[in-house]
Structure 1
Amino acid sequence: MRTFDGIPALEAAVGEHLGYSDWHTITQEQIDTFAKGTGDFQWIHIDPAEAAKGPFGTTIAHGYLTLALVPMLVWQVYDVQGIKMGVNYGADKLRFPSPVPVNSRVRAGVELLEVAAGGHGYQVITRVTIEREGGDKPACVVDTVSILVP
């Protein structure tokens, strides 16, 4: 965990890779729960018998489940002290270059791209790359946009 003492310290780190989260295992229970919450019941995610005959030989996590892990994983990478709150503002350049088979372990790498003063605080843009252990391509790459209010 990298801790920044306020916005000026964070600004000084623009352009740096901030580190990696812990590994997280994607379970079938997590995939099924995500399917129930989103209504996305495609067989490739929730039917192990059918998925075994499919292109990946097993079920795979929803791409948006992988994206939904970003906050949990990024909070393990860095923290900014002296702010009242941080809110998600959006995302840019979202891609899912490779699937995440059930029981895979994933982690996030975080690169700080930009910190800019704005109307209600500071806009922070990070490039989050979710990698799968043993994978040759990232599972998800997204530029996240947050607002930090000092």
Structure 2
Amino acid sequence: MKDVSLAEVKGLVGTEVGVSDWITVDQAMIDAFAGATLDDQFIHTDPERAKAESPFGGTIAHGFLTLSLLSAMNYSALPKIREQTMGINYGFDKVTFVAPVKSGARVRGRFTLAEARFRGASMLTNTYDVTVEIEDERKPALTARWTTISQFDPKDRPEDA
């Protein structure tokens, strides 16, 4: 999607505003995440044991790893707001981990703008309904409602906002 202006954002509410590039979640990524988060449960880090002892047939990504990839997905999928000077992660209202992401799988994010609301003189909150799809799988990895803040110079705020 092309870049948009602050004045155009409200008109996008209720529409799918972007689909990210595919990201491969390989064992190296899973291991790095395990190291960074101190979560080295065998279903994530031990391919042989995970194959033998888990119902997944091998290792799976941490749910929080999949969730953390939303930042990268955001950059490849969402239109840039021309007046934005900074973007801030505000938080999640709901996250549901629906299906495991097996090592080697590819995932992508699908974003629908659920709400856009101006706050104060220089902020716009954008709330997205997000689905992280797993390539060639019927069920998504996760669904979430994610709110971000677009910071901008107050002089750029639309008059009708």
Per the normalisation by structure 2, the TM-score is: 0.89
- Cα deviation 1:28-78 (Å, max 9, x = unaligned): 000000000000010000000100111001100000000000010111112
Give 1:5 deviation, angstroms: 2.6
Moved more, 33-42 or 111-120: 111-120
Give 1:118 deviation, angstroms: 0.9
Give 1:126 deviation, angstroms: 0.6
Uncovered stretches (5+) of structure 1, i.e. residues with no partner: none
2:40 equivalent in structure 1: 41
One-letter amino acid of the counterpart of residue 75, structure 2: W
Give 1:142 deviation, angstroms: 1.0
Residues in 2 aligned to 1:80 and 1:108: alpha-carbon distance in whole angstroms: 19
Count of matched residue positions in the alignment of Structure 1 and Structure 2: 149
Residues in 2 aligned to 1:136 and 1:65: alpha-carbon distance in whole angstroms: 20
* Larger Rg over CA atoms: 2
One-letter amino acid of the counterpart of residue 17, structure 2: L
What is the DSSP-based 3-state SS (H/G/I as helix, E as strand, rest coil) of the residue aligned with 2:72? helix
- In 2, are the aligned partners of 1:3 and 1:81 still within 8 Å (CA)? no
1:134 equivalent in structure 2: 136
- Cα deviation 1:87-140 (Å, max 9, x = unaligned): 001111101100000000101100000000113511110111100011111101
Instruction: Give 1:1-150 correspondences, 5 Å limit.
Output: 2-53=1-52, 54-78=54-78, 79-119=80-120, 120-150=122-152
Residues in 1 aligned to 2:46 and 2:143: alpha-carbon distance in whole angstroms: 26
Uncovered stretches (5+) of structure 2, i.e. residues with no partner: 153-161
- Give the fraction of aligned pairs with identical amino acids, expressed as a percent: 38
Give RMSD over aligned pairs. Answer: 1.0
One-letter amino acid of the counterpart of residue 63, structure 2: G
Give 1:19 deviation, angstroms: 2.6
